[in-house]
Structure 1
Amino acid sequence: MTAPDDPLVSTEWLAAKLGDPTVKVLDASFKMPGVMPRPVDDYLAAHIPGAVYFDVEEVCDHASALPHMFPDAAQFARDVAALGISSGDTVVIYDAGGWVAAPRAWWMFLAFGHTQVRILDGGLKKWRTEGRPTESGKPALIPGNFTATFHPAYVRNKQQMAANLEKAAEQVIDARAADRFEGRVPEPRPGLRAGHIPGSRNLPYNELFDANTGLMKSHDELRAAFVRAGVDLDRPIVTSCGSGVSAAVLTLALYRLGVRGSALYDGSWSEWGMQDGPPVATGPA
């Protein structure tokens, strides 16, 4: 059954809302470190009119050695308010069209208690394909008034994931490509071991959207993808990936299928795969 609160919105819907002062648009595009041009430079060159850049490398815990970990509620509230967003606003998030970081930002807003948050289906790719307007540079911002309350059930830490190895109470789904999951290639982040969390399943996140249109696949196709991966949608689920970003694509797909109560492993492989980390498995699931 389709969830009544499907978080995706269409380009047509967003185009009709541009200019509404209670609808705030965020560009949350993300690339792996070192990939040029930087996503913020892409944003400055062209973005949906009025959109503000949401940088997952900045809205994070700067005290952690791990990449872009969740900040605390006070910092999230400050950072989001600085982007011109208030608690009463509807937030619409998009990325360049590769479905990498918009779901991560969406999940962060939900985890910090802001439920009026949506994702643009197809992202900037579909918007531009349709010939819709873009603008460049930074828009003028008036700081908002945003309140955040963190709900820890939305995320898991390494200790919880390690405890789950024995209990297997929660299914773990890894969004990385199969060759990384199986440990056949080195990790892109240096110094990490190759492989996956023992007992986890593999569903590469790019199997959940159409690479040509940028649109997320239908509910039937999403459900079939999880079934192929050996996932029971009626049992608890934690999503994981390289650093807690693309895992949220799986989280979004689960949410669209009506699954509630799933969690995201924030540290993901950038934490688990460290040399002194917990056990690692290789090969197919």
Structure 2
Amino acid sequence: MQPDDPLVSAEWLLKNFAAPDVRVLDATYFAPFTNPPETGRHAWTRGHIPGATYFDIDDVADTGTDLPHMLPDAVKFSSRIRKLGVGDGNRIVVYDQNRFFAAARVWWMLRVMGHDDVKVLDGGLNAWVTEGGELEDLPPVVSERHFTPRVRSDLVMTTANLEKMVGSPHMTIVDSRPDGRFFGREPEPRPGLRSGHIPGSVNLPGSALVTEDGHMKPHDKLAELFTNPMAPTVTTCGSGVTAAITALALARLGNWDVAVYDGSWTEWAADPSRPVATAAE
């Protein structure tokens, strides 16, 4: 693993996945509003990297809110992650089957909980298969481990704090949704939400960060997409999933302290009193 890159190659994982301290998590997730033919767990059951356990972002979540897959508290996170066989001292590799869609969020969640030795598999499951990796369809035998959470609240943006930062020249807000939703030309997929964006935010769709074959774009291509990648930054999207891909890309460029707005547009637009912009600024 390269210490300055949040991603790891399928070639590296193929050589190291059986190491006793390596743990692999499958974070495949399909948003319900896309009417997927199967769930992420079903996809994992059908075939996964040997030894990989399934991390469900809707299960490892704060279920006391109606907002989707919100970050749980440290106690619940620790309980869930230990049951997946992940604990202190593990090198963790997270992947998914759909272009970083939830692997990046699980990477962010683990870092929020203080576990820095975590990487995302560049290219996901497809890269693993292309490299010659085998798949299995049986659940692995898991031994529960001890996980010590050390919460980094600086990586989590709340609505209350974001409201204070809107309009500040000292904070960049990057919205990872498609531009049609950002500019209010297309409806939100979640019923009842206005489209548009947080005033002062800039649009960079998460899809722009990924190549056609599902790899993260290289350093030089990513750098072209950001005006100042090292600036203090908050990322947002529809529900805090794609925003984590942007945080992952910025970490690849050297900015490891990006905060993800956990509730994202689902939380912001739910309150009619909050300002919503639709025009380019």
Name the structure 2 match of 1:114: 115
Alpha-carbon distance between aligned partners in 1 of 2:127 and 2:279, rounded to the nearest angstrom: 36
Alpha-carbon distance between aligned partners in 1 of 2:256 and 2:7, rounded to the nearest angstrom: 16
Q: Which runs of 5+ in 1 are unaligned?
A: none
Across the aligned residues of Structure 1 and Structure 2, the Cα RMSD in angstroms comes to 1.4
Answer whether contact 2:173 2:233 (CA < 8 A) is retained. yes
Percent identity of the aligned residues? Answer: 44
Alignment-mate amino acid for residue 130 of structure 1: E
Answer whether contact 1:192 1:273 (CA < 8 A) is retained. yes
Answer whether contact 2:11 2:131 (CA < 8 A) is retained. no
Answer whether contact 1:181 1:195 (CA < 8 A) is retained. yes
1:101-152 per-residue CA deviation (whole Å, 9 max, x = no partner) reads 1111001111111111111111101112334200113222111111112111
Alpha-carbon distance between aligned partners in 2 of 1:118 and 1:51, rounded to the nearest angstrom: 14
1:225 partner SS: coil
Cα displacement (A) at 1:4: 4.7
1:56-91 per-residue CA deviation (whole Å, 9 max, x = no partner) reads 111111111111111111111111001011111111
Alignment-mate amino acid for residue 161 of structure 1: L
Name the structure 2 match of 1:20: 19
1:124 partner SS: helix
1:175-195 per-residue CA deviation (whole Å, 9 max, x = no partner) reads 011111111111011111110
Q: Which runs of 5+ in 2 are unaligned?
A: none
1:32 aligns with 2:31: yes
Answer whether contact 1:174 1:241 (CA < 8 A) is retained. yes
1:164-223 per-residue CA deviation (whole Å, 9 max, x = no partner) reads 114343110000111111111110111111101011000001111112x21111111001
Name the structure 1 match of 2:124: 123
Name the structure 2 match of 1:64: 65
What does residue range 80-95 of structure 1 map to in structure 2 within 5 Å?
Answer: 80-95=81-96
Name the structure 1 match of 2:247: 251
Alpha-carbon distance between aligned partners in 2 of 1:84 and 1:31, rounded to the nearest angstrom: 24
Name the structure 2 match of 1:242: 238
Alpha-carbon distance between aligned partners in 2 of 1:89 and 1:193, rounded to the nearest angstrom: 42
Question: Structure 1 residues 195 and 27 mapped into 2: Cα distance closer, same or farther (>3 Å)?
Answer: same
What does residue range 127-276 of structure 1 map to in structure 2 within 5 Å?
Answer: 127-211=128-212, 213-227=213-227, 232-276=228-272
- Return the TM-score normalized by structure 2: 0.95
Name the structure 2 match of 1:282: 278
Answer whether contact 2:22 2:91 (CA < 8 A) is retained. yes
Cα displacement (A) at 1:244: 0.3
Answer whether contact 2:14 2:128 (CA < 8 A) is retained. no
Q: What is the aligned length?
A: 278
Question: Structure 1 residues 168 and 267 mapped into 2: Cα distance closer, same or farther (>3 Å)?
Answer: farther
Alpha-carbon distance between aligned partners in 2 of 1:278 and 1:40, rounded to the nearest angstrom: 36
2:71 partner SS: coil
Name the structure 1 match of 2:104: 103
